[in-house]
Amino acid sequence: MALATEHPIIPLTNGGADITQGKVVKLSSGATIATTAVTDTAFGVVTEDAEAGEQVSVVPAGCGAIVYVEAAASGIAVGDSLAPAASGRAAKTTTAGHKSFGTALEASTAAGELIKCVLAPSHRIMP
């Protein structure tokens, strides 16, 4: 299901627990770990499953790629701004100070669902 074949894919070490495609990750001590809060800065999105300590492929935030992300809940609509959430999921945001990393291209109907998203051309903070 990986869509991001025409954009940069960065191989990094998975520094956390086993991780699955669509998880939003941040950097910690030179390795990737799943985001934990909407105030995290997303480094990118995982394109394939990886076990802890293994190499994982990450499409970097800010590259404009279309990728699948794991929805944090139902209720994400097409066009919603997405921010990192707990467990490496993506949540819609309209709140000042939340760090948006992309825009939803599909709606979510359940938590854990993979939806298409375009990674923002650059990191931005909701005004």
The domain spans of the chain are 10-60, 66-125
Geometric angle at alpha carbon 79, from 68 and 88, rounded to 5°: 40
In the β-sheet with 81-84, what is the strand arrangement from edge to edge?
66-70, 114-125, 99-104, 81-84, 90-92
Look up residue 15 and give its two tokens: 């520094």
Largest separation between any pair of C-alpha atoms in the chain: 37
What does R_g of the chain's alpha carbons equal in angstroms? Answer: 13
pLDDT in tens, 53-87: 999 999 999 888 999 999 999 999 999 999 999 99
| Nearest Cα residue to 66 out of 6, 125, 110, 126 | 6
The single-letter code of the amino acid at 86 is: A
pLDDT at 3 exceeding the cut of 90: no
Q: What is the pTM of this model?
A: 0.88
pLDDT at 127 exceeding the cut of 50: no
- Are 113 and 71 in contact, with CB atoms under 8 Å apart? yes
Say what the pLDDT of residue 122 is.
56
